[in-house]
Amino acid sequence: MSNTYHVAVVGASGVVGRKIVQVLEERDFPVGELSLFSSARSAGQTIPFKGEEITIQELTEDSLKAPIQIAIFSAGGETSKQYAPIAAANGVTVIDNSSAWRMDADKPLVVPEVNPDTLHKEDKIIANPNCSTIQSVVPLKPLHDNYGINRVVYNTYQAVSGAGRAGIEDLENHTTNNFPYAINETVIPQIDVFLEDGYTKEEQKMIDETRKILGEPDLRVTATAVRVPIKTSHGVSINIELAKEFDLDQIREEIGAIPGVIIADDPDNLRYPLQSEAADTDNVYVGRIRRDPSVENGLNLFVVADNLRKGAATNSVQIAETLVERNLV
């Protein structure tokens, strides 16, 4: 990464936008110049970056063009739909955190540890997956490659920060401005709106995105997404039916060999993934690794990661790093 790049962050004033700026600095991404954009109401605010205070500018249709080379979006689907094509038409490579482009057949949906080869130089809009999907497909990758997967069952335990600042405020202030019930008193088995079949949009995202990322459009996947009263980090219980017999120790080795994965799996010493441990790290923690004897070749995992970092900001920056490493931008 000897060259430097002019990077823009769109939606910089939000929880994830600010985290993207932080991660760019922490990972020493080769930023030559940083431009920050948000809505008019946030314009004029400043965010620290490498000892400077960078002023947020109002996003307009003229904002995203040369000399900007990479724009990381975290401003919601409508903003992405409006401005990402403008940026792409101006030669800017967009990495988008919203759901706007994830299931577009022409847009890569990327987790760098899983499917970096789907990135190409002509890609100008790249989708960042859903937070829970990102951490889940990381350990699924070697299982898919080495054994084949017949079915996946997800049950999530998702932190309030996944709903942005409003979700955090509901937890801290015991209010119901964002969630339909007091999240500090219960868990809520609803994330996003309900669809006609009784699934929520969050659950459908996990189903669709897992299939796309693993390149298995007919993979049997189901999900139940639950909001829990913690601030940061998502937990996902994953039940997998593999196509082949397996050895548990081999499974642990294969998953543990993935960069950024920490195996936390020692029941005798009460060692398992904790959302509190994952908070403010870029790691994916995997534990509770055990057979499911109720089905042939059944396996259970519990997977935890910081939803604001690996589930959003860090994965976006890793995509940018991959583009640079492969001379795709």
C-beta of residue 302 within 8 angstroms of C-beta of residue 237: yes
Annotated binding residue 227: yes
Whether 144 is catalytic is: no
CA angle 78, 64, 315 (to 5 degrees): 65
Annotated binding residue 39: no
Annotated binding residue 162: yes
DSSP for 11-41, written as a single string: TTTSHHHHHHHHHHHHTT--EEEEEEEE-TT
Annotated binding residue 14: yes
Annotated binding residue 69: no
Whether 120 is catalytic is: no
CA dist 242 and 54 (Å) reads: 49
Annotated binding residue 237: no
Annotated binding residue 327: no
227, β-bridge pairs: 158, 188
Annotated binding residue 271: no
In this structure, what is the dihedral angle of CA atoms 299, 112, 214, 228, given to the nearest 10 degrees?
A: 50
Give the position of tokens 């960042």: 128
Annotated binding residue 35: no
Structural tokens at position 129: 């997956």
How do strand 298-305 and strand 234-242 relate by DSSP bridges?
antiparallel
Annotated binding residue 115: no
Binding site for phosphate, by residue number, is 102
Active site residues: 131, 234
Question: Which residues are part of a known binding site?
Answer: 13-16, 41-42, 102, 158, 161-162, 227, 307
The annotated binding site for substrate is made up of: 158, 227
